[in-house]
Amino acid sequence: MIVIGELINGTRKSIARAIAERDAAYIGGLATSQAEAGASFIDCNPGTIGEDEIRDIQWLIETVQAATDLPISFDTPNCTALQAAFDVYENDATPMINSITAEQERLDEMLEFVAQSGANIVALALSDAGMPASADDRVQTSLGLIDTLTAAGIAPDKIFVDPVISPLSTDATCGCAVLEAVRTIRQQRPDVHITCGLSNISFGLPERKLLNRVFVAQGIAAGMDSAITDPLDAQMMATICAAEALAGRDEWCMNYIQASRDGKLTQ
């Protein structure tokens, strides 16, 4: 599974403080620990706006790429900040843009830049109609956005569709709708990746990590092959490993066996 490490996010108080204080040791250590835990990308979200966001995202990119060779996910809705992130990115690995939507204003602002960048792109199933309410809303918005991106020259295997998870605490049917959408998107567009902001499913509920783990296993069974999540959650990573083996994505269960030998399945 393609794990996008979510921990360097300026909306978290400890990260906001580290960014403000330019604590490179803290941010670099967090990047390194996520890489060692099995992340595929390191997401960097400065959590600021305006000129501060431009300075902060550049500092984050420079700090993270000094700590790990993993590709970085540039997490900003600001096209100017996104361009600034590319200006300082020096890693040979293809980065990720998080994210673009089907909202016309966002497409007009970002599509040409995204296509020319050659980066991977998280494609959120949001349109001018707002948050998707049903599985069909998610499917139709996702398929339309995929077609728009591929028509602009973006390869399907660089597209990471996010069908948009809303909290189960506010919509009891959301989990079912997302899983149905994942199955349909996987069937109709088999070459794209499907990801999600995993922890959104449990927001506002007790024992959040339990819900997150069960949902990721269900998502993998439905066809999800990526998640924006916490790679330092050992139980989450063990669940992903087991779910991929059960879904037939681990030939001879070699990844599962190796994880067991490394002591990563029992904590």
Q: Report the amino acid identity of residue 62.
A: E
Same domain? 228 vs 101? yes
Q: Tokens in use for 153?
A: 């020259």
Same domain? 107 vs 67? no
Same domain? 71 vs 142? no
Q: 266 in a domain, yes or no?
A: no
The count of domains in the chain is: 2
The stretch 64-75 carries a mean pLDDT of: 98
Taking the complete model, does pTM exceed 0.85, yes or no?
A: yes
Q: 262 in a domain, yes or no?
A: no
Q: Single out the residue of 93, 153, 146 nearest to residue 124, CA to CA.
A: 146
Same domain? 205 vs 166? yes
CATH number reported for the structural domain that contains residue 144 in this entry: 3.20.20.20
Same domain? 105 vs 70? no
d(CA 31, CA 106): 29
pLDDT at 267 over 90: no
Order of strands, edge to edge, in the sheet holding 193-194? 193-194, 159-162, 120-124, 96-101, 72-75, 41-45, 2-9, 226-229
Q: Single out the residue of 134, 245, 211 nearest to residue 180, CA to CA.
A: 134
d(CA 145, CA 142): 5
pLDDT at 108 over 80: yes
The stretch 88-114 carries a mean pLDDT of: 96
The stretch 15-34 carries a mean pLDDT of: 98
Terminal-to-terminal C-alpha distance of the chain: 20
Q: 139 in a domain, yes or no?
A: yes
Half-sphere exposure of 20 (CA within 13 A, CB side): 10
Q: Single out the residue of 187, 149, 181, 188 nearest to residue 165, CA to CA.
A: 181
d(CA 58, CA 262): 36
Q: Tokens in use for 169?
A: 């605490």
| Residue 156 contacts residue 192 (beta carbons within 8 Å) | yes
What domain range includes position 127?
97-113+122-232
Q: pLDDT for 205-238, tens place per residue?
A: 999 999 999 999 999 999 999 999 999 999 999 9
Mean pLDDT of the chain: 97
